[in-house]
Amino acid sequence: MIPETIIYNTENLNSEALILLYKNILKPRLIEEKMLILLRQGKISKWFSGIGQEAIAVGVTLALLNDEYILPMHRNLGVFTTRNIPLYRLFSQWQGKANGFTNGRDRSFHFGTQEYKIVGMISHLGPQLGVANGIALASKLKNLKQVTAVFTGEGGTSEGDFHEALNVASVWQLPVLFCIENNGYGLSTPTSEQFRCEHLADKAIGYGMESHIIDGNNIIDIYTKVSEFAEDMRKNPRPILLEFKTFRMRGHEEASGTKYVPKSLMDFWVAKDPVMNFQSFLKEEGILTESDIVLIKEQMVSEINEHLEIAFKEEPIKPDLEKELKDVYAPFKYIEVEIGNETQDIRFIDAISQGLRQSMEQHADLVIMGQDIAEYGGVFKITEGFLEQFGKDRVRNTPICESTIIEAGMGLSIADMKSVVEMQFSDFISSGFNPVVNYLAKSYYRWGQLANVVIRMPCGGGVGAGPFHSQTNEAWFTKTPGLKVVYPAFPYDAKGLLATAINDPNPVLFFEHKGLYRTIKQDVPTNYYTLPFGKAAILREGKAISVITYGAAVHWALEALDDNPDILADVIDLRTLQPLDKEAIFTSVKKTGKAIISHEDTLFGGIASDISAMIMENCFEYLDAPVKRVASIETPIPFATQLEKQYLPKDRFEEALKLLLTY
Cα(584)–Cα(134) distance, rounded to whole angstroms? Answer: 39
Q: Residue 307 catalytic?
A: no
Helix or strand holding residue 211 (H, E):
strand 210-215
Would you say 383 and 373 are in contact if contact means Cβ atoms under 8 Å apart? Answer: yes
Q: Would you report the helix, strand and coil content of the chain in percent, each value rounded to 5?
A: 45, 15, 40
Residue type, 630: V
Distance CA(190)–CA(192), nearest Å, equals 5
Decide if 450 contacts 444 (C-beta within 8 A). yes
Residue type at position 54: E
- C-alpha 462/C-alpha 637 separation (Å) is 10
Are 629 and 607 spatial neighbours (Cβ–Cβ below 8 Å)? Answer: no
Q: Sign of the C-alpha dihedral, residues 162, 419, 68, 211? A: positive
Q: How far apart are the first and last CA of the chain?
A: 84
Is residue 383 helix, strand or coil? coil
Residue 160 in contact with residue 225, Cβ under 8 Å?
A: no
Residues 6+ apart with CB under 8 A from 251: 49, 257, 258
Beta carbons of 591 and 559 less than 8 angstroms apart: no
Bridge pairing between strands 148-153 and 70-71: parallel
CA 326 to each of CA 110, 292, 330, 414: distance values in angstroms, whole numbers, following the listed order:
21, 51, 8, 21
- CA distances to 63, 247, 557, 617 from 523, rounded to whole Å, are 58, 66, 21, 39
Q: Name the helix (H) or strand (E) containing 627.
A: none
Measured CA to CA, the distance from residue 71 to residue 48 in angstroms comes to 17
Identify whether the C-beta of residue 510 lies closer than 8 Å to the C-beta of residue 536. no
How far is the C-alpha of 459 from the C-alpha of 426, rounded, in Å? 5
| Contact partners, residue 609, CB within 8 Å, separation at least 6 | 603, 629
Determine the Cα–Cα distance for residues 201 and 285; give it in Å rounded to an integer: 33
Residue 82 identity: T
Sign (positive or negative) of CA dihedral 457, 462, 467, 468: negative
CA 353 remoteness from chain centre: 26
Q: Report the SS3 class of residue 190.
A: strand
Q: At what angle do helices 402-414 and 127-141 cross, to 10 degrees?
A: 50
CA dihedral 422, 474, 502, 556 (to 10 degrees): 100
- What is the sign of the dihedral through the CA atoms of 184, 186, 187 and 192? negative
Catalytic residue selected from 252, 469, 513, 555:
469
Catalytic residues, by residue number, are 469
